[in-house]
Amino acid sequence: MSMQPAERYTAVAIVLHWLIAAAILGNIALGWWMRRAVEASATRALAVDAFQLHKSIGLTVLILSLLRLAWRLGHPPPALPAAMPLWERAAARATHALFYVLMIALPLTGWLYVSAQWRGDTPLQVPTLWFGLFEVPHLFGLDEQTRAFRETWAATTVDLHTWLAWSTAALAALHVGAALKHQWIDRDAVLTHMLPRPGRRVALASGIGLILVVGVGAALLRPDTTRQADAPHGSDTSEGSDTVDSGGAPGEWRLLRSASAIRFAGEQGGSAFNGRFERWRVDVRIDNDAVSESSINATIETASATDGVAMHDRTLHEKEWFDVANHPAATFESRAIRPIEADRYAVDGVLTIKGNAIDIPPLTLSLDDNTATVTGRLALDRAEADLGMASDPEGEWVSREIEIRVRAVLSRRAAGDAASGTDD
């Protein structure tokens, strides 16, 4: 490989240069907007989404900058004009070296900051999802350090990150000014060395534009969770059949999946979210001749909670929320079934989440021939279940009250029905 200066930058260097420049400057502007938007309730939800985009772009810049540096070491840049003064040559080399430092240090300090999982005086549980595709690990176990260390680390790194952003913006302005000076005053070829040849400019612009559009679109185009929550969906633990055996005497009651659901709703960053538990099962033992002696129990897999937003779904698994690793299931156990009126009963019971037993308002049991329907609606205080109380005890980000809606429709299997759980 020749180490002699080239007449112009290579196509790879040109693409990386303009792509990194657009990403850095756009991300700096996004970061400045986020810092203001996250403090206002009207724009907080959008700022939270933008924060994931900001992190994704930053990590991309870090990767591209390392590639750019590796390419630069093997492909010397074009020689500077012979007429350029020595001080200007020195300034140009120093500027380029400083740019490489900033291109790597700026996103790296951002990664170090979010790895501490701390903001202001509050711990966080917010995963980093690269354009919603996969989770990026926290560096050096910083999120597992003491609260005092994490607070100090986060304060230091975010200040450094901010300072580096301002420095990058200032250096970019100086760089642009110098390039324009070479083009319009010195009238040399310095700027044209980094511009694609006329026949390739459209392709370069199209390629960079496509990459940016795909990245932004992947981060911002998320499912409509309100529409998802309102649509019919199953609450099953098995595939294929519309019915699931729900316990009791063999084949006595079966859950109708398509008519049943456990949903939850609340607000995050000022915007409503709607979700559901996708996997749960019930154990129903109802004797029509002695309803008060019957029982209705349920087991809900906490890992199946989803509102269709990848960041939310992953966060719900964390220790501060459902702590799926140690508490894979929440349970409901009926304690008493009391008559309300003809064929309608109040079901008193206890909901247990993360080992916290919570007395909830009675559910309603309705009996109609061979069909039983259990319904209920309650407002669950997150503090009662110890959900998200370390990072958001006041409900500044996620509403303290989470609405839970339950509907379980069961049919009695007639004598002689097959045990497969399918309808005739």
Kindly report, residue by residue over 18-52, the tens digit of the pLDDT: 899 999 999 999 999 988 888 777 787 788 888 98
pLDDT, tens only, 212-246: 555 555 544 444 433 343 333 333 444 444 555 44
pLDDT, tens only, 254-310: 899 999 999 999 998 778 899 999 999 999 888 878 888 899 999 999 999 999 888
133: pLDDT strictly greater than 80: yes
Superfamily of 252-413 according to CATH:
Lipid/polyisoprenoid-binding, YceI-like (2.40.128.110)
For residue 333 the two structure tokens come to 């156990």
Range list for CATH 2.40.128.110 in the chain: 252-413
- What does the pLDDT read at residue 193? 59
* Residue 380 to residue 222: CA distance in whole angstroms: 27
Q: Are 80 and 95 in contact (CB under 8 A)?
A: no
Cα–Cα distances in angstroms (integers) from residue 189 to residues 69, 174, 277, 292, in the given order: 23, 18, 63, 91
Residue 305 falls in which region: left (phi positive, over 0), alpha (psi -120 to 50) or beta: beta
Confidence of residue 13 (pLDDT cuts 50, 70, 90): confident
- pTM more than 0.75: no
Burial of 221 (0-12, 13-18, 19+ CB in 10 A): exposed
Cα–Cα distances in angstroms (integers) from residue 350 to residues 79, 249, 299, 305, 379, in the given order: 77, 24, 12, 20, 14
The per-residue pLDDT of the chain, averaged, comes to 81
Mean pLDDT for 333-340 is 94
- What does the pLDDT read at residue 121? 80
For residue 420 the two structure tokens come to 């497969």
Return the amino acid letter for 258. S
